[in-house]
Amino acid sequence: MMHPVFGKCPVCGGELIVTRLECRSCGTDIGGQFAVGRLSQLSADEIRFVETFIKNRGNAYKVGEELEMPYSTVRARLTEIIRAMGYEPGAESKEEAAAISPEKRQAILDDLARGKISADDAIKLLQGES
């Protein structure tokens, strides 16, 4: 039985490194200091969550159904895991930042219909570009 690699010391919580690798096929043995990666910094519970998230193609509603937790908890867990991996979740995505009001969207489409702006200009405006 092979045990999963974990990246934090169970004694002090410090970062662990891999110092030996072995090929299961030919027996080649390689020594050195190897990083274990960001995913190894997660707990077994967090890894199970990430696997479920990936299996459900990032659909937080399906993850919530499978793990029997509300959508808000799924989002909160995802934020915790992002931070545990050493990243800072952004305040908003590019798509959210580019969101425009329904009124402005309609005005852009009206200008396009009247020939006041080109299709390329309309696309840029709808995507939040100047």
Closest CA to 126 of 90, 115, 112, 92: 112
Where is pLDDT greater, at 1 or 9? 9
Distances (CA, A) of 47 to 56, 58, 87: 14, 14, 16
Structure tokens at 125: 């405006």
Q: pTM of the full predicted structure?
A: 0.54
The answer to whether the CB of 22 falls within 8 A of the CB of 28 is yes
Residue-range domain boundaries for the chain: 1-37, 42-90, 95-126
pLDDT tens digits, one per residue of 23-67: 999 999 999 988 777 887 788 889 899 999 999 999 999 999 999
Q: Say what the pLDDT of residue 74 is.
A: 93
Q: Say what the pLDDT of residue 130 is.
A: 61
Alpha carbon distance 77, 85 (integer Å): 12
pLDDT tens digits, one per residue of 79-125: 999 988 888 887 444 555 456 788 888 898 898 889 998 888 888 88
